[in-house]
Amino acid sequence: MLFEYSLKTPAEGLIDITQFVREAAAKSGIADGIVTIYCPHTTAGITINENADPDVVHDMLLGLNKAFPDRAEFRHAEENSAAHLKASVTGICRP
């Protein structure tokens, strides 16, 4: 069973998709199982984390930006190599 959602997002940030996952699980009618979340975009990743403290979002973005800063020597024409690196470490699929 496949459910598809489209999101408008800022250039950088974390988006809570819990409501979409819950909705898809409810629509499926399945009582037990595994939900697989997939993002086909090459500069977006999926991570599981808490959403109780907004400082977590701040700290995650700070850490990712420090680990993967924009660099003058990047060659990618779209100038978003740092976003590709960040997406690679957070992943595109989570069960």
For residue 10, tell me if it sits in a domain: no
CATH code of the domain covering residue 65 = 2.60.120.460
Cα–Cα distances in angstroms (integers) from residue 54 to residues 20, 47, 58, in the given order: 20, 15, 7
- Domain assignment present for residue 5? The answer is no
Query: Would you place residue 57 in the very low, low, confident or very high pLDDT band (cuts 50, 70, 90)?
Result: very high
What's the CA gap between 59 and 64, in Å, rounded? 9
Q: How many domains, in total, are found in the chain? A: 1
Q: How confident is the model at residue 41 (pLDDT cuts 50, 70, 90)?
A: confident
Assess if residue 49 is contained within a domain: yes
d(CA 28, CA 1): 7
SS3 4: coil
Residue 71 has pLDDT above 70, yes or no: yes
- Residue 37, phi then psi, degrees to nearest 5: -110, 130
Does a structural domain hold residue 37? yes
pLDDT average, residue stretch 47-68: 92
pLDDT beyond 70 at 93: no
Q: What residue numbers bound the domain in which 64 lies? A: 18-94
Which pLDDT belongs to residue 42? 84
Is 41 within the bounds of a domain?
yes
